[in-house]
Amino acid sequence: MPTDSPEATLADMAHILDHCRTVAVVGLSPKPHRDSYAVSRYMQAQGWHVIPINPNASRILGETCYPSLQEAARHHRIDLVNVFRNSADVPPVVEDAIAIGAQAVWLQMGIFHNAAAQQARQAGLRVVQGKCLMVEHRRHALAG
């Protein structure tokens, strides 16, 4: 479970939802029945630029796939890194997010890594753990 305070999480979510529009999705699946695909398709429909990070695919949702965040960052400025990977896989993703100058890291539902989250915050990134970007976007839009 996260050690983040609810207030910090709410502030980070609001900032991300208000200011980020280019999202690299680490672990985006080409399979339409997967959550990563549904969430990314929804974010595209809301006008966000989705950049798939998947070394085993060439295109997903009409976008060119990149094998890594580092490679994607050579072609795009990335605001947010949305993670659909196991919690144990989070630290190198956070290290890459810091290295490419992303503003924020979002760990989807069920994904938590407090040490990596703390590392991201210390580097100046905003962090959300264990929440769905699509659900929170809808909630934010209704509240706004």
Residue pLDDT, tens place only, 101-144: 999 999 999 999 999 999 999 999 999 999 999 999 999 988 86
Q: What is the CATH number of the domain that holds 105?
A: 3.40.50.720
- The yes-or-no verdict on residue 8 having pLDDT over 90 is no
pLDDT of residue 144: 66
Which tens digit of pLDDT belongs to each residue from 49-96? 999 999 999 999 999 999 999 999 999 999 999 999 999 999 999 999
Assess if residue 55 is contained within a domain: yes
- Residue 9 — very low, low, confident or very high, per pLDDT cuts 50/70/90? confident
In a domain, 1, yes or no: no
pTM of the model: 0.95
Strands 126-128 and 59-60: unpaired
Question: Which domain range does residue 34 map to?
Answer: 6-143
How many independent structural domains does the chain possess?
1
Q: What share of the chain is helix, strand, coil (3-state, %, to 5)?
A: 45, 20, 40
Q: How far apart, in whole angstroms, are the C-alpha atoms of residue 64 and residue 51?
A: 7
